[in-house]
A and B are shown apart, each in its own frame.
Chain A
Amino acid sequence: MAEINTENNDGIHFITVNGDIDAGSSIYLDNAFKEALGDGEKKIIADLSGLDYISSAGLGVFISHLDEFKLQNIELALFGINDSVKQVFDILGLEKLLTIEETKEAAIKALND
């Protein structure tokens, strides 16, 4: 199970994920991204510090929106990823396509630069 919250702050759309993202809860993450796209958000930061586990379905959610983000010039940054989740991103090669930062400040900075 996962709990996903969204929040707008200084022109940045924050998505906070808590819990596990598996096949079931990946739908909520997908909805959160779709909502942000629909609202015309240009800067999205995902706080994954509460994310314990992500399944391939959850990774699929990130992957499925990559093209869209690029097309619409949307910038996405992630931060707070724990080691085991980071390892999953790394093995898959996703870390090369996503902006992954250690802290929130770094993520904001990465988007504003």
Chain B
Amino acid sequence: MKVDFSNFFPQLSFTGFVLFTFAYYRYVITKADSLNFTDLLWKVFITGLITTLISLAIQLFFNLFARSTLVESPLTINFFYNILIALVVIFMVSTLVVWKRLILYQKSKRLLQLWGLFEIALVAALLFDFFNLKVDDANFRFSLIVLGCFSIILVFNLKWVAYLNFKQKWKGILFIILSAIYLYHFILNLLKFSYTEVLVIDLLDRVFVWGVFGFLFLYAVISILVTLFNLPTSSVFEQKLKEAIDFQKLSQSIPRGETKDQTYEILLESSMSAVFADAAWLEVIEDGGRTQVIRNLRDDDIQGIKSAIKTDTIKSILQLELKNEVSPGKLTDGIKHAKFKSIIALPIMVQDSQVGFIVLLNEVSEAFNREMVNIITTFVNQASISLENLTLIQESIENERYKEQLKIAKNVQKSLLPRALINNDHLTMSAFSMAADEVGGDYYDILEYQKNKFGVIIGDVSGKGTSAAFQMAQMKGIFHSLVAQGKSPEEFNKQANMALSQCLEKSSFITATYFDIDTTKNILHFSRAGHCPSLFYCKKEDEVNFLKCDGMGLGILRNSKYDDYVYSNTVNYNEGDTLLLYTDGITEAKNIDGEQFGSERLKDSFTIHASKAPNQVKEGIKDDLSEFIGEMIIDDDYTLVVIKFKDKGKNG
């Protein structure tokens, strides 16, 4: 074998043209990303049409001047033959690029490698053609066989066919048949020229040309066959695709901010199209309201269908009385109705309770199968999840709002407790208060209403949380107005009861103890209104005792009879004596065994710490309490106030 130089330049320009065309079409077709399959085939068809028309024109020219010397001159023949070569190359290469894109529609690594090898083989064929071998040469045929093998492996990559719908498949078949006819026409045309012996370059002596022809033709034939065979199943594929899209619509309907009603609409539409239902309706009951979405039915139809139902399961679904899981087989049945013969009824469940149902009807008997019930079930489940999510989103927004309001209430309530405690020459104090909820109902306050005269209160509003906090605010108002008037403890409780009787809820009451401290006389005068007795530490005796006094909670008796139950008591104190005020959250705090901390333990704890500074007394008792309750959490508001007295004589 040796390279024929007379043939070298024509072959070189041919090779150059092929590569250029390939590069061009690759760029054009790869760039057009949005092209769908029919558009691609359309491109092939149009390119083929144009090139074929031109080649027909050439043929016409030869036929018209068949007898003239013009058409017999080698120059004319070669001129037109070269135009024909250009047309063939353009059509073949553009088709090759389109076929490539179709074959590589679903790429795998192996397929890409194979295609790469095929392209290399084609380039090799182009180079091989420089040897200018004839068709009957063994090497020529061997090269052709190699290309043929590649083609056979590649042509079975036809996954794109499945994505065409029915109409597109017919279009595709038409375009491919026409493309194959063009190919055939070109081969015939080339053969015709080949008989004239004057050609500078005969395309038919090219491995590349035969190889590509073979490949294009084979792929066209296989595509047509596969598309034809796929025609009957395309509706199934379309249906499945639609189901998947409907499913996605359902799952996205809520996040997209659509309302429940829109979700119901989507659910009903998707379900109907999934099972080819003739009519359907959906009912959901929630928040006391009833939502009904109806398709192709009148109200009296619904009544008629309800009475035509035979099975109990479907009846109970329609009455929203479904208790337990139902097997899919029981959800579909026949009905004796003038118009509708088949029914599917599916419950709509939200958070394990039936909130509604969907009913699908068909005019044909036994129109629904198990598969359909399964699809609808997934639709309904997805819709339920969407609805559940919607509920959760709404709830969490609501909760967020409540939290925000509670935060405000907490801040307001904090401002109700005294900001500064009194620490002067007469007394020092320390206090601690903790609410079980965001806001609580414990209250303490101190006010120097006259020089060296202090009004002190500890109070506990029944219940806890927001309503308790509001009542505590009222108590603060009452305290400040009555203390300013310098009322005696008895008078204080009587008037506080009167004031609270007007505004407290019927089942609410407030316990309180009011202290009037006169630091010039070292006298503690107090009246207990149902509040747990305060503890008093006498330093001289080194002894703690409860400050006993009869009394009744505020708001228990809401008339003047209350006054009969108001008492007061007086204690003289000395330097170092300490008063401990607390609320029942402390004494009723329970440990893991359910045992209460109790007033005796509190008394003992106070006895141990009483001689210390007020802050240390408070901390000591808190430590003892938390040691007692251990891991448990105190489920009530609790408050501690420690007041240590000094001697007026020493402090002036």
Chain A residues in the interface with B (C-beta under 8 A):
23, 30, 56-57, 59-61, 63-64, 66-67, 84, 91-94, 96-97
Contact = CB atoms under 8 A, between A and B. Distances in A.
Contact of A57 (B507, B530, B550, B556): B507
Contacts of A64: 506-507
Q: Could you say which of B531, B533, B556 has the most chain A C-beta atoms within 10 Å of its C-beta?
A: B556
Contact of B565 (A23, A60, A66, A96): A96
Contacts of A60: 462-463, 507-509
A63 B507 contact: yes
B552 A96 contact: yes
A56 B532 CA distance: 12
A111 to B, nearest CB: 22
Nearest to B531: A91
Given A60-B509, A64-B507, A93 B530 contact: yes
B553 interface: yes
Contacts of B565: 93, 96
A67 B508 CA distance: 14
A34 to B, nearest CB: 12
A59 B596 contact: no
B558 interface: yes
Interface in B604-640: none
B557 interface: yes
B556 A63 contact: yes
Contacts of B578: none
B556 A94 contact: yes
A79 B135 CA distance: 121
B92 to A, nearest CB: 86
A67 B553 CA distance: 15
Q: Which 4 A-B pairs have the closest CB atoms?
A: A93-B552, A56-B462, A60-B507, A64-B507
B462 A93 contact: no
A60 B511 CA distance: 12
Contacts of A92: 509, 511, 530, 552-553, 556
Task: Give the secondary structure class of A's interface.
Answer: helix
B596 A91 contact: no
Contacts of B459: none
B415 to A, nearest CB: 24
Given A60-B462, A91-B531, A92-B553, A67 B511 contact: no
A68 to B, nearest CB: 9
A91 B507 contact: no
A64 B504 CA distance: 11
14 contacts: A23-B463, A23-B464, A60-B462, A60-B508, A61-B507, A91-B531, A92-B552, A92-B553, A93-B530, A93-B550, A93-B553, A93-B565, A96-B552, A96-B565
Contacts of A94: 552-553, 556
Contacts of B550: 93
Contacts of A63: 507, 509, 553, 555-556
Interface string B499-519: 000000011110100000000
B527 to A, nearest CB: 12
A91 B462 contact: no
Given A57-B507, A61-B507, A93 B533 contact: no
A54 B164 CA distance: 75
Contacts of A66: 556-557
Interface string B550-572: 11110111100000010000000
Contacts of B584: 56
Given A23-B464, A59-B509, 17 more contacts: A30-B507, A56-B509, A57-B507, A60-B508, A60-B509, A63-B553, A63-B555, A63-B556, A64-B507, A91-B532, A92-B552, A92-B556, A93-B550, A93-B565, A96-B565, A97-B552, A97-B556
B128 to A, nearest CB: 93
A61 B505 CA distance: 11
Nearest to A87: B599
Contacts of B509: 56, 59-60, 63, 92
B60 to A, nearest CB: 100
A47 B557 CA distance: 24
Contacts of B533: 91
A57 B553 contact: no
Contacts of A84: 596
Interface in B488-507: 506-507
Nearest to A61: B507
Interface in B459-490: 460, 462-464
Nearest to B508: A60
Q: Could you say which of A56, A57, A94 has the most chain B C-beta atoms within 10 Å of its C-beta?
A: A56
Nearest to A63: B556
A57 B463 contact: yes
Nearest to B561: A97
Interface in B521-567: 530-533, 550-553, 555-558, 565
A64 B462 CA distance: 12
Given A66-B556, A67-B558, A84-B596, A93 B507 contact: no
A92 B532 CA distance: 8
Contacts of B531: 91
A64 B553 CA distance: 13
A93 B556 contact: yes
Nearest to B530: A92
A96 B565 CA distance: 9
A67 B555 CA distance: 12
Contacts of A30: 507
A30 B555 CA distance: 18
Contacts of A61: 507
B223 to A, nearest CB: 74
Contacts of A67: 558
Contacts of B460: 56
Nearest to A64: B507
Given A93-B551, A96-B565, A56 B463 contact: yes
